[in-house]
Amino acid sequence: MRRFSSKEERRRIVASVVDPAVFGNAENIGLENHLNVFHNNKEPLSKALAKGLAVFLNSTAIDDNFRRFSGHTQVNAADLKLIKYPSRKALIELGKWADKQGELTQDMIDEKVERIAEYKRSLKAFHGAGKRIA
């Protein structure tokens, strides 16, 4: 994920997945400091999780929300930690969905991420329905 964008750019959050096969049998790779790298305890993410995470982060809702709470063009790791992410399972399912779609449009991404958010809201409402109001 890119750490910097210019004021003129349409998006602040730009995420992509790097396929490790591109690097052949390299034991280590070096990355410049203009990137934020997601990992699982310094191990790679599964392909489906990485793809789902990239799709989620590339949604208009995430970009708009980031612009609301951050007035700068830099995306720090601390900023990324403040984002409310779907569950790991939901991100994996999102990644599998993205793989089946081929090339994704912004509308496809936004529609799918909104459906995940609606589902999450409905679950919260359902679980809260049985709570006693004092």
Tell me what the mean pLDDT of segment 47-64 comes to.
93
pLDDT of the residue at 127: 52
How much is the mean pLDDT over the chain? 82
Task: Give per-residue pLDDT as tens, 17-28.
Answer: 988 888 889 888
Instruction: Please state, in angstroms and rounded to a whole number, the distance separating the CA atoms of residues 19 and 116.
Output: 26
Domain ranges across the chain: 20-129
Residue type, 38: F
Amino acid occupying residue 110? D
**CA–CA gap between residue 44 and residue 38 (Å, rounded):** 8
> In the structure, what pLDDT confidence band is assigned to residue 57 with cuts at 50, 70 and 90?
very high
Full-model pTM = 0.81
CA pair distance 124, 128, nearest whole angstrom: 6
SS3 83: coil
